[in-house]
Amino acid sequence: MCVALPGRVIALKDRKATVDFSGNLVEADAGLVDINIDDRVLVHAGCIIQKLTEEDADFMTEFADYIRELEA
């Protein structure tokens, strides 16, 4: 339902950001987030809907622990 793609903010002026997706530069609205230049963000329909955290989650390890607990 909701196509959104991660990109990097390369310019920011008022509520307008320029976001880079592998060289594709798109003007996106930045009014729904607090961001800075170089942040990674998620863009949906020309609008930044979230700032992405860089940390790649180790949720699978966590989840495996959780399952082990359940099954124990």
Q: What is the C-alpha to C-alpha distance for residues 48 and 43, in angstroms, rounded to an integer?
A: 4
Does 46 sit near other proteins (CB under 8 A)? yes
Closest CA to 15 of 29, 35, 34: 29
The phi, psi pair for 70, rounded to 5°, reads -60, -40
Chosen residue from 13, 38, 56, 72 binding other proteins by CB under 8 A: 56
By beta-carbon proximity to other proteins, the closer residue of 27 and 37 is 27
User: Cβ of residue 58: shortest distance to other proteins, in angstroms?
Assistant: 9
Chosen residue from 13, 36, 38, 53 binding other proteins by CB under 8 A: 53
Does 33 sit near other proteins (CB under 8 A)? yes
Does 12 sit near other proteins (CB under 8 A)? no
Q: What is the C-alpha to C-alpha distance for residues 5 and 24, in angstroms, rounded to an integer?
A: 12
